[in-house]
Amino acid sequence: MRQIGHWVGGTEVQGASGRKADVYNPATGEVQAEVALASRAEIDAAIEAASVAQRAWGATNPQKRGRVMMEMVRLINRDMDKLAEALSAEHGKTIPDAKGDVQRGLEVIEFAIGAPHLLKGEFTDNAGPGIDMYSMRQPLGVVAAITPFNFPAMIPLWKLGPALASGNAVILKPSERDPTVPMMLAALFKEAGLPDGVLQVVNGDKEAVDALLESPVIQAVGFVGSTPIAQYIYENAARTGKRAQCFGGAKNHMIIMPDADLDQAADALVGAGYGAAGERCMAISVAVPVGDKTADALVERLVPRIEKLKVGPYTAGKDVDYGPVVTKAAKENILRLVNSGIEQGAELVVDGRDFALQGYEDGFFVGPHLFDRVTTDMDIYKTEIFGPVLTMVRAQTYEDALQMTLDHEYGNGTAIFTRDGDTARDFASRCNIGMVGVNVPIPVPLAYHTFGGWKRSGFGDLNQHGPDAFRFYTRTKTVTSRWPSGIKEGGEFHFRAID
């Protein structure tokens, strides 16, 4: 059995805790590797070594740190196929989707090449007589990144690019369900010139996370995952005096106005609802057509598209639209929620419950489902299903549709499909959601903008990537300076405004 350890001090080391987790091939249901689960002592040792390595890295000039990012871009592109293969093998998504996962992380590394510009401070000449005032951004020290299973390349890279380019050392605790790609990325960072110890990857579960939260050395925690854990980490990071940005779950609504191009909307819904088996925090899981006529016309267009979807292992290449979900427990949870939808009175228009694939009977495949006439009190509306299940809630007016997005506890992403600029503009302005698409179903901002949800989709006050990330991973220090000739008249004994 392949063993996956930790990446510490610039090399892979075996776990010492004796605790391990199984890593599955979700297409076959077989265990393909075992990953070590770090103990508190292993976490503390990794943090200690990172703290030593960070001193020189933090003092390295930002151009040199930027050049490591530049080389990293070259290396990720060189190894794109290998990374995508390893990613698909553990996650289950198709190869083109796995490449997209790597690519969207790579773009943040490209952005981090601009660290010298992004870390520039502010300067006021002559803030007072003979006085200069300047602010500089300094690294925090050692920071922690705790990431989810669903984007094992992109989300670690979102954290690593800005945190490392800002001069921090990072302890990355990736998902224990697909740890291989984060380990490969650590090896690539070493090859790109990152000094040993500046990036440590420790695999683990709650024990490792709690050790990170309680360490007095860790200065900041960047988390992405489900909402209950995001809130737990946010609260505990605050309790121990750390800054934290914790991104959680989602229930993204797409509003379809009567004037929308319904073929375009149906294509968008199928891609955004079922792509990656619905395991995206930016998946559209709720379609909200406005008016029964729009709803009926949309269902008519959706059903044949959904019935044509090809579900299978990534190894089947172009013949597959989406793969299995990540674990047997995830599959069971999805099917449990589907059954609750039926019991609570929703109309199951496309039923994927009996989906089976010859030769892959033990794989974690879930067929596509479409529910119509869902109401806002049903569990399938309130809960994040994180599977290939699209729910449709019929709204009678635009205001009803908008109100649904306002009232839902999650606020990650949303979209509106319409031909009317005024409606689109009103929606973008009034919805309380972090990322909004106008005739774009998955509005994931590019690396130089920022990514983050509102309400219970995000805890903390700065977003991921873009300029916010450089603010999150640095502290501002402001210096007020007057040179000796400025006090030649003698000491100043009164506290007074600088004028």
Q: Which residues are catalytic?
A: 281
Shorter beta-carbon distance to ligand NAD: residue 209 or 350: 209
**Rounded to whole angstroms, how far apart are CA atoms 150 and 170?**
21
Task: Tell me how far, at minimum, the Cβ of 245 lies from ligand NAD, in Å.
Answer: 10
Element at 13 (helix H, strand E) = strand 11-13
- Provide the CA 221 distance to its chain's centre, in angstroms: 14
CB 177 within 8 A of CB 326: yes
CB within 8 Å of 343: residues ≥ 6 apart? none
Three-state DSSP state, 274: helix
Task: Tell me how far, at minimum, the Cβ of 413 lies from ligand NAD, in Å.
Answer: 9
> What are the respective helix, strand and coil percentages of the chain, to the nearest 5?
40, 25, 35
Shorter beta-carbon distance to ligand NAD: residue 107 or 384: 384
Task: Tell me how far, at minimum, the Cβ of 124 lies from ligand NAD, in Å.
Answer: 37
Tell me phi and psi for residue 445, to 5 degrees: -65, 150
Amino acid at 345: G
Q: Looking up tokens 């890279």, which residue turns up? A: 157
Shorter beta-carbon distance to ligand NAD: residue 224 or 306: 224
CB within 8 Å of 341: residues ≥ 6 apart? 348, 371, 374, 378, 379, 380, 389, 391
Task: Tell me how far, at minimum, the Cβ of 209 lies from ligand NAD, in Å.
Answer: 4
Q: Looking up tokens 């000449």, which residue turns up? A: 125
Residue whose Cβ sits closest to ligand NAD: 225
> Which residues contribute to the site for ligand NAD (CB under 6 A)?
146-151, 173, 175-176, 205-206, 209, 224-226, 229, 247-250, 281, 384, 386, 412, 453, 457
The residues facing 36 across adjacent strands are 20
DSSP conformation class of 445: P
Shorter beta-carbon distance to ligand NAD: residue 305 or 456: 456
Task: Tell me how far, at minimum, the Cβ of 77 lies from ligand NAD, in Å.
Answer: 24
Shorter beta-carbon distance to ligand NAD: residue 36 or 224: 224
Amino acid at 361: E
Task: Tell me how far, at minimum, the Cβ of 173 lies from ligand NAD, in Å.
Answer: 6
CB 437 within 8 A of CB 268: no
Task: Tell me how far, at minimum, the Cβ of 362 lies from ligand NAD, in Å.
Answer: 21
**Rounded to whole angstroms, how far apart are CA atoms 276 and 478?**
46
Shorter beta-carbon distance to ligand NAD: residue 234 or 386: 386
The residues facing 350 across adjacent strands are 370
Element at 293 (helix H, strand E) = helix 292-307
Shorter beta-carbon distance to ligand NAD: residue 223 or 365: 223
CB 314 within 8 A of CB 94: yes
